Amino acid sequence: MKRQLSVGAIALVLVLATLHLGGVRITLASEGDKSTVTSTFAVEGMTCGGCEAAIEIKLRKIDGVGSAEASHEKGSAVVRYDPTKVTPDQIVSEIEELGYKAKLVETQSRDRR
């Protein structure tokens, strides 16, 4: 009788462990589906590749920013980020801290493309 109980207990632990692992997997999957958005900013004041690099390096350091591409010729910066972690306003103020003038032009969600 005692033995049967412990077998049952082990089975229960295995079932719980499986459910637990399943739960973890579901959590990881939904984190992977987290959507990012891409915003284009008009940036005034960039004159060379050094300006572009300064902006890109600063923006890429922000937690939640996936990529940042700046162009002094176009006067723009294109930033891909997680909108639950970063806001366009935050990106504008990071660019302006470097001495440039920035303004949000448009935001596109990735899955709509």
Residues that bind Cu ion (CB under 5 A): 47-48, 50-51
Cα within 13 Å of Cα(56), Cβ side: 14
The nearer residue to Cu ion, 9 or 48, going by C-beta atoms, is 48
Q: How far is the CB of 76 from Cu ion (least distance, A)?
A: 15
Query: What residues form DSSP beta bridges with 79?
Result: 39, 68
Q: Which is nearer to Cu ion, 81 or 100 (CB)?
A: 100
Q: Which position has the token pair 């079932």?
A: 15
Min. distance of Cβ 47 from Cu ion in angstroms?
4
Identity of the residue, 50 or 64, whose beta carbon is nearer to Cu ion in the bound complex: 50
Please answer whether residues 78 and 40 qualify as being in contact, where contact means their C-beta atoms are separated by less than 8 angstroms. Answer: yes
Contact 39, 67 (CB under 8 A): no
Shortest spacing between CB 48 and Cu ion, in angstroms: 3
Residues in the chain: 113
